[in-house]
Amino acid sequence: MSSAFSGSFTQQEPISEEGIEAAVKILRNGRIHRYNVLEGEDGETALLEQEFAEYMGVKYCLAVASGGYAIATALRAVGVAPGDKVLTNAFTLAPVPGAIASVGGVPTFVGVTEGLVIDLEDLEAKIAQTGAKVLLLSHMRGHICDMDALMGICNAANVIVIEDCAHTMGACWNGVLSGRHGAMACYSTQTYKHVNSGEGGFLISDDADLMARSTIMSGSYMLYARHKAAPPVDAFKDIRYVTPNISGRMDNLRAAILRPQVRELDKACNAWNERYRAVEEVLASTPGMTLIERPEAEAYVASSFQFLLLDWSEEAIDDVISRCAARGVELKWFGGAEPVAFTSRYDSWRYAPSEPMPKSDRVLKGVIDMRLPLTFSLEDYALIGSIIRDEVSAVFRAQSD
């Protein structure tokens, strides 16, 4: 009888005792709102912002209600107006084009390579074709493109780069932390990201004007001086009168849960990468499967695993998904014709119509995705990898006969 796996792919690690104690303290004193602090007290949210800014080596950090809110706020801060075209990846998740649409922008999709990163040739072409002045770059599923080349293209065309780092917190390109290349960067602290507060996010930048706008938009009222990682008070002098309040603050309860996780982030990143490599080792040379090559310059954080079944029929891919599921391994297919759960592709978002992109469509049709929970051991991942290898091999052989 074939071996099977019995773990839950949605089970996260528990919140640490330090985080629980800090959260209980907030619950006992009732001061959950970030600005509800005692005289001279630094609230948990302000301290979290300061600590994340220090980790990132950035001047300013703002903690907000979600990663999607962070993205929409960044778009507003850089001046995206209704009708403006905003470039973004064809391979991403729905909150990215959704954030563009939420501010009245028009998502304009750029192709994806077999490395699951933005196609730089197509980016150059789309910049020339559209005249777009903002790129919302999604480091989808933790894959980082050649950021030196991308910034060269965007700087030459005066295109502002906002980085969506929901899947790359703690990762680097050429020694530079993900999020430190563009004008602004956005992070998520939703349950399935690298730190977990259920929902939440960060917005970072070295630009005082952009971050002052973002702070007012987040709902600081005139309390921005209570922040510990915000621009100087002078940066708010004129902005406070002309910037709308679009409330999206993080609260002290979530911040209390997150602070210990930020301190342990590097340890968690190393644990994810060990699990990624355990699966990768088992899947090497699996017939019919294309593994994603990771560039030497990319210091990745692999909290999920992707592979490609290029040029496979929909029926064969469905068969692989079903056979793995029957043995307890949960795979997601980004290439399905209909969106399912978190998976969808650019032609699913009918509020953002796009011309077909045949090269990208071929890649997207073959993208298979799997979460890598830290609650599974390395031995678990060896078994998971062997199940995927067996089932992909079996379906591939059947197609070839």
Residue-wise pLDDT tens digits, 121-175: 999 999 999 999 999 999 999 999 999 999 999 999 999 999 999 999 999 999 9
Within-domain flag for 269: yes
pTM recorded for the entire structure: 0.96
Within-domain flag for 172: yes
Same domain, yes or no, for 288 and 197? no
Mean pLDDT of 372-400: 96
Within-domain flag for 8: no
Same domain, yes or no, for 247 and 281? no
Q: CATH number of the domain at 64, please.
A: 3.40.640.10
The whole-number pLDDT of residue 2 equals 79
Same domain, yes or no, for 346 and 244? no
Within-domain flag for 152: yes
Domain that holds residue 77: 17-263
Same domain, yes or no, for 30 and 168? yes
Within-domain flag for 106: yes
Q: Mark which of 263, 288, 315 sits at the end of a domain.
A: 263
Within-domain flag for 4: no
CB-based contacts of 34: which residues, under 8 Å, 6+ apart? 43, 44, 45, 46, 63, 249, 250, 251, 252, 255
Same domain, yes or no, for 247 and 270? no
Q: Mark which of 230, 263, 296 sits at the end of a domain.
A: 263
pLDDT digits 0-9 by tens, 108-122: 999 999 999 999 999
The whole-number pLDDT of residue 1 equals 47
Same domain, yes or no, for 258 and 361? no
Q: Mark which of 240, 263, 286 sits at the end of a domain.
A: 263
Mean pLDDT of 20-36: 97
Residues above pLDDT 70, as percent of the chain = 100
Within-domain flag for 12: no
pLDDT digits 0-9 by tens, 55-101: 999 999 999 999 999 999 999 999 999 999 999 999 999 999 999 99
Q: CATH number of the domain at 383, please.
A: 3.90.1150.10
pLDDT digits 0-9 by tens, 302-345: 999 999 999 999 999 999 999 999 999 999 998 887 888 888 88
Same domain, yes or no, for 238 and 110? yes
The whole-number pLDDT of residue 254 equals 98
Q: What is the tally of structural domains in the chain? A: 2
Same domain, yes or no, for 88 and 191? yes
Within-domain flag for 32: yes
Same domain, yes or no, for 247 and 333? no
Same domain, yes or no, for 106 and 230? yes
Same domain, yes or no, for 26 and 157? yes
Same domain, yes or no, for 40 and 143? yes
